[in-house]
Structure 1
Amino acid sequence: MTSYALQLNNISKVYQDGDNENTVLDKVSLKVKPGEFVAIVGPSGSGKSTMLSIAGALLSSTEGEVIIGDTSLDNNKKNWIRVRKEKIGFIFQSHQLIPYLNIGDQLNLIAKISKNKDKKEFEAYADELLNDLGLLDSKTKYPNKLSGGEKQRVAIARAFMNKPDVILADEPTASLDGPRGRQVVEMIRKVVKKQNRAAIMVTHDERILDLVDVIYRIENGKIHDVKSNM
C-alpha cells in the first residue's frame, strides 16, 4: 500500500460574490509521495495559490479533505497551528528573512518553536542543511550581506528545519533571474530527494519544469492535465 505525504481529496473552494458563487477550485484531487517533487502550473487566477494555501492549513476548503502524513485536517484551527509547525515547511516568493538575525539565528528560531528541543541535534542539522545549500561558510552573515539567490537558499533551509512531511513553495523563483532561479529550484530538489520529503511548487517559470517529477496544470479550478518527468 502506497504511503502518501499529502492527499487532497475532492477539494472545492467557493466564494460568495454578491448573489453569485465563484468556484475557485472544483473537486481537485492530488496525492504526493515522500521524495516526490511536484509542480503546479496554470494561468493567473486558476486556483494554484488557493490550492497551496488549503494544502498548507492556511485556508479552509468548502468541501473535501486534506490529509498530511497520517493527520486529517478538520475545522479545529488549533490543530492547524500544530500541523503547520510540525508537518509543513513554507517557501514564499519573497525570502521573508528577519533583517537583524544572521543565517544561523534564522534557523535557530525555527528550532526554538519546534517539538524537538535537542539543541545539539538542531545545530548539527542546521549545519548539514547549510552545507548542502552551499551556505555553511556564510552562517554568521546577515541578510543585507547576501545576494537574492543566497537569501532564497536560506529560506529553503528554514523550511526544512522542522523536518516537515511536506514542503510548499509559492513562486520561489519570482524575484530571481533565470540562472539564480534555476539554482534555487535545484537546491529544493536536492534536499527533497536527500531527505525523502514531499514538495509542491506553484510556478509560472516553465524553464525549471524539467527539475520536477510531476507537473499538474490547473485551469478554471480543475486539474485536467498531468505530465510526468519520472
Structure 2
Amino acid sequence: MQTTRTLVMIYSLAPSRQARDKQVFGSRNQQAAVTLFDRLEGRIQSVAGKTGLPTLIIYDHQQPGTTFGERYAAAFTQIFSLGYDQVISVGNDIPALSEHHILQAKEGLDSGQTVFGPSRDGGDYLIALSKSAFEEKSFASLPWRTDRLHEALLQLFAKTSPVTCLEYLVDIDTAESLADSMTQALDLTFRKFLKALLKSLAKIEFHGTCQRFSSLLLFAGPRRAPPQNHLCLD
C-alpha cells in the first residue's frame, strides 16, 4: 500500500528530441543543444531528489494518445492509479527551478490547493494537482503548447479547488528564452556549465549570438549554492 501521498513527475521530451525540435543554437549546433538538455535533465533530477519526495521520469513518447494533452493527462492518470493522491509535475527545461518551488507546491497541495508555476511564455513549468481535482478528459482538452494555457488552467481548476501560483520562471524553447533565463537566479554549477558551453559556441562565431550570451552570463542575477548530485528516479 502506497504511504507517501505525493510524487514528483518529471514529464518532458527526451533531451535528444528537445534539441532537435527546439533548435536553440541553430541547426549547425545540434550537439550543443543535446548537451544543454542532457544537463538540464540531470539538474532537475537532482533538484527533485533534494525534496525527499518519490520521483518518476516520464517521456512524452512513452504515453498513449494522439495529442500532447492526451499523453500528458494519461501520465497523471497512471500515477494516481499507483496509489498517489497528489502529483507535482515539472519539466526538465527550467534552469531556475529549485527544490523550494517543488516544496512550496507540496505545501499548497497539503492545504487543499491546486498549484501552478507560470512561465513567461504563457504556459506553466509546474502543475501540482490532487487526485480529487483531476479529470482526465477536460485536462487533455486544454490548449497545450500555446500562450493561452496558464489562463485556461486557472479557469478549469478554480471550479474545483482554491488555486495558488508560484513565481514566474523561464523555460527554454528558443535562443531568446535561454538569454532570458540568465537574468534569473541560476545555481552556480549550472551557470558555470552554461558559460563554458556558450564560450565554446562563440569560438565558431555563431552570428555573434553566443558572444552575446557569454556577456549576459557575466552580469546575470543572483547566484545560489550549487545543487547536490543526488538523483531520485523511478
With structure 1 as the length reference, what TM-score do the two structures score? 0.28
Q: More helix by proportion, 1 or 2? A: 2
Higher strand share: 1
Which has the higher relative contact order, 1 or 2, with Cα contacts under 8 A spaced 6 or more apart? 1
TM-score (norm 2): 0.28
